[in-house]
Amino acid sequence: MTDTLPFLQVDVFTDRPFLGNPVAVVLDADGLDGAAMQRIARWTNLSETTFVLQPTAAGADYALRIFTPDRELPFAGHPTLGSARAVIDTGRARPRAGRLVQQCAAGQVALRVDDVGGRLYFEVPASRVGPVAEADAAAVARALGLDGPPPRLEAIDVGPIWLTAALHDAEQVLSLQPDMAALATISRRLRVTGVTVHAPRGTRTDGPWSDSPDIAVRSFAPAAGVPEDPVCGSGNACVALQRRASGQRDDYVAAQGEAIGRAGRIAVAFRNEAIEVGGATVVCVEGRLRTA
């Protein structure tokens, strides 16, 4: 008999199909080894593919392994939310008092389920922030095509490591045309996932921006096989950490994906010392994946 596993494709950070960031979710994947998971992730060719397993850590509701087309990640944001939607909708995990706990290589990640809005939020894992040398910041600025002095970059580790920088305004963010080969070379040399940039957004009322998000974000990870991540949860976690460090603690909504035809919306909430990153999710594909 042909081996198959339950499979969903979930659009994350959107309440409308095909405008967010899709993640492929393979359920009941305990029988797959890492090599098989990587082959499947390479085949789906999405920014991430996840594999739901039985948990081994006390207190966890399920375990998750997360793969890009060419590597495994210890944690990633939109795959975490999309996988949580999959396990809830298929009855493989049930929230307790509106909470779930995901086990992954980065540790245990707490999730909150918003019963009213149907949104899911993950709590940003423990992070580390490091400086970036001036020469490396200048190289990143050249690869992004920025004129003038390079922005202040920080290497922020939330599982994935993003070189994170605030730019002048949203139009500057949206106009970037990065040299992906150069960004990939820099990312590999510095052993980071990629580069995330953000900036405040001015008044704008047309198109997918009409719901007035507060900032614009873009994330580039060509070294991980993802030239531009459509809507990046871990990248937005790094943005939230950088904003908090600069004294900005007001909740906000970020927009990401417009540069590549998406309209992702990411809600960020500051709760004492915790940061929650979340949004809507939509199941777009449901079926079975042939594994042999």
Confidence (pTM): 0.92
Which pLDDT value is given to residue 203?
A: 56
pLDDT of residue 58: 97
Task: Note the pLDDT of residue 121.
Answer: 97
The residues facing 108 across adjacent strands are 103
**CATH number of the domain to which 232 belongs:** 3.10.310.10
Same domain? 136 vs 232: yes
Is residue 120 within 8 A of residue 281, CB to CB? The reply is yes
Quote the pLDDT of residue 225: 86
- Residue 191 CB contacts under 8 Å (≥ 6 apart), including other chains: 161
Residue 10 is part of which domain span? 4-123+279-290
Q: Are 134 and 249 in the same domain?
A: yes
**Can you list the residues of the chain whose pLDDT is less than 70?**
1-2, 203-210
- pLDDT recorded at residue 229: 94
Distance CA 200, CA 112 (A): 27
Same domain as 250, residue 236? yes
Same domain, 245 and 154: yes
Residues 67 and 148 in one domain: no
Q: 210-233 pLDDT, tens per residue? A: 478 999 999 999 998 899 999 999
- pLDDT reported for residue 118: 79
Do 170 and 184 have their domain in common?
Answer: yes
Note whether 29 and 147 are same-domain residues.
no
Query: Same structural domain for residues 166 and 110?
Result: no
The verdict on 193 and 254 lying in the same domain is yes
Residue 137 sits in the same domain as residue 264: yes
Overall number of domains in the chain: 2
Q: How many C-beta neighbours within 10 Å does residue 170 have?
A: 23
Give the model's pLDDT for residue 204: 47
Give the pLDDT of residue 212.
84
**Distance separating alpha carbons of residues 284 and 9, to the nearest angstrom:** 6
Helix, strand, coil distribution of the chain in percent, nearest 5? 25, 35, 40
Judgement on whether residues 101 and 49 belong to the same structural domain of the protein: yes
| Confidence (pLDDT) at 210 | 44
Whether residue 144 is found in the same domain as residue 92: no
* Active site amino acids: 48
Q: Residue 22 has which token pair?
A: 């899709």
